[in-house]
Amino acid sequence: MATDAERAAGEGAAQKRRLDEDFSKLYKAHLRDVYSYSYYRVGNHHDAEDLTEQTFLQAYRHFERAQRESEGRPLRPWLIRIAHNLAANYYRDRSRKPQTPIDDASTISATHTTEALVEDRDDLKRILECVQELPDDRREALIMRFALGMDNREIARALGRTDGATKVLIHRAIKQLQEEMGDGDE
């Protein structure tokens, strides 16, 4: 017959195993989003990998509490918020711009002609440069919306804003980006 201490230890180990399994599922489900967000923020592969790793390490430390407090809501905005804060620290600590420009247009379809491919790549580079010039909150909102496909409610949670304020923020970011691109109809 097991003692109370042995039973408690067994229950604790089972709870830890469940927590680790849940975190593993979260990691697999959102690794790509966290990496993409980090890459769009810092502009280079190595630093994005570091930020992604730091995000998940920090998330693991606080995962049990986040699960309790989420009340069943998705944890993706929470992860992106962690990545957001780490990226802000990255810039504050290094006080510099990304080392390499974001010019990877590998998502362009192979069916394009060479001329169209070059033009699309130039357009993408120009858009990304203009996005980097946006104020932080607007840039963050656009990255979350278009690079990660987050909806306004998720973005609002990640940025600590209301849904309405987030909608306005995205609208203003798009408008400013169009103005900077010099073409109000893009």
The answer on pLDDT for 48 being more than 50 is: yes
CA–CA dist 23, 121 (Å, integer): 37
- Residue 180 lies in domain: 112-186
The answer on pLDDT for 141 being more than 80 is: yes
Question: How many domains does the chain divide into?
Answer: 2
Same domain, 89 and 156: no
Same domain, 15 and 84: yes
The answer on pLDDT for 102 being more than 50 is: no
pLDDT on residue 51: 94
The answer on pLDDT for 186 being more than 50 is: no
Q: What CATH number corresponds to the domain at position 118?
A: 1.10.10.10
Q: What CATH number corresponds to the domain at position 93?
A: 1.10.1740
Same domain, 93 and 21: yes
Domain boundary among 98, 121, 151: 98
Same domain, 80 and 32: yes
Burial 14-41 (b: 16+ CB within 10 A, else e): eeeeeeeeebeebeeebeebbbbbbbbb
Same domain, 89 and 128: no
CA–CA dist 44, 41 (Å, integer): 9
Same domain, 14 and 84: yes
The answer on pLDDT for 84 being more than 80 is: yes
Higher pLDDT, 69 or 11: 69
The answer on pLDDT for 132 being more than 90 is: no
pLDDT on residue 60: 93
Q: Which residues contact 30 (CB under 8 A, 6 or more apart)?
A: 75, 76, 79
Same domain, 14 and 94: yes
Q: Band the pLDDT of 1: cuts 50, 70, 90.
A: low
Q: Is residue 1 part of a domain?
A: no
Highest mean pLDDT among 23-32, 99-108, 115-124, 150-159: 23-32
Same domain, 94 and 129: no
Q: What is the mean pLDDT of the chain?
A: 81
Q: Is residue 164 part of a domain?
A: yes
